[in-house]
Structure 1
């Protein structure tokens, strides 16, 4: 078994995102990263449902959250300040082993949401890269989350890598 917990990525400083995450009910925020271009990430032990929308309202910018199930599966939520949102599932084959109904996370809807989310953040998404992350399989869902961030136009950083 691997990590549980998750991460949040937003256009905010690391300090702001840590503060906003605490206010939104994130538990155990212990690591953060400056992703460059005004984007930051925080990593936590637990996060409440609907956290992406709460953080988007607080930051005034698009937010992406990923909640991990034993590092095997990632539940993605994207939200914008204007109220747009989307959901996706990382490691779909593994999710089926957990009997998670993957049909509740349609890839096409997630692709459209991801494109709109990236545009709202001033980013240019790579549709094929997003599709590959959403349909791919890896030993750790965190690896797919990094690929997804890259495909959305955000250079991911390993947890704790300030200024990476």
Structure 2
């Protein structure tokens, strides 16, 4: 989970329906990255509604595949998939995660968040492969323009 909360993030996440909330890393400009074990169906929407801040969430399947969901307070959302080659081995239907709409959504999300994204780097994270999807997730945060992301 990555967002810029106006209050204590763990408390806000619990109220939004996240469980197993773990370490939080604070980036520049109060952006925060937090690990969690599980999220309810509306957890991301609940958190964005509470904080009135954009958020992006990556849920992992065995650290091999990452499912991206992002939302802004005005309701703009996008979805994506990390580690597409590995996703094939899980028989995840790649056609449910088209690349170009995800790139366009990521660019719009970044702009709404006041960030400066790197379109080519976003595309590379959405089409690239890595031993662990967490590597692509970190690269995505940098590509989205999150200040201080590495």
Q: TM-score range with shorter-chain normalisation? A: over 0.9
After superposition, the CA RMSD in angstroms is 1.3
Match of 2:71 among 75, 79, 82: 79
1:9 aligns with 2:14: no
1:109-124 aligned at under 5 Å gives the runs 109-124=101-116
Determine if contact 1:51/1:65 at 8 Å carries over to the other structure: no
Determine if contact 2:16/2:44 at 8 Å carries over to the other structure: no
Unaligned runs of 5+ in 1: 1-7, 158-164
The alpha-carbon distance between structure 1 residues 56 and 141, as it changes in their structure 2 partners (threshold 3 A), is same
Q: Which residue of 2 aligns with 1:59?
A: 51
Q: Which residue of 2 aligns with 1:27?
A: 19
Deviation digits for residues 85-143 of structure 1 (CA, Å, limit 9, x no counterpart): 00000000100100001110111001111011001110011000000011100011010
Greater relative contact order (Cα < 8 A, sep 6+): 1
Q: Which residue of 1 aligns with 2:133?
A: 141
Task: Name the CA distance, whole Å, in 2 between partners of 1:50 and 1:96.
Answer: 27
How much does 1:49 deviate? Answer: 2.7
- How many residues are treated as equivalent by the alignment? 149
Q: Which residue of 2 aligns with 1:3?
A: none
Higher deviation after alignment, 144-153 or 38-47: 38-47
Q: Which residue of 1 aligns with 2:10?
A: 18
TM value normalised by structure 2: 0.94
Task: Name the CA distance, whole Å, in 2 between partners of 1:53 and 1:71.
Answer: 24
SS, match of residue 74 in structure 2: coil
TM value normalised by structure 1: 0.87
How much does 1:38 deviate? Answer: 1.7
Deviation digits for residues 10-64 of structure 1 (CA, Å, limit 9, x no counterpart): 0126x62211111111111121110111201110111223432222111101100
Task: Name the CA distance, whole Å, in 2 between partners of 1:67 and 1:110.
Answer: 16
1:93 aligns with 2:85: yes
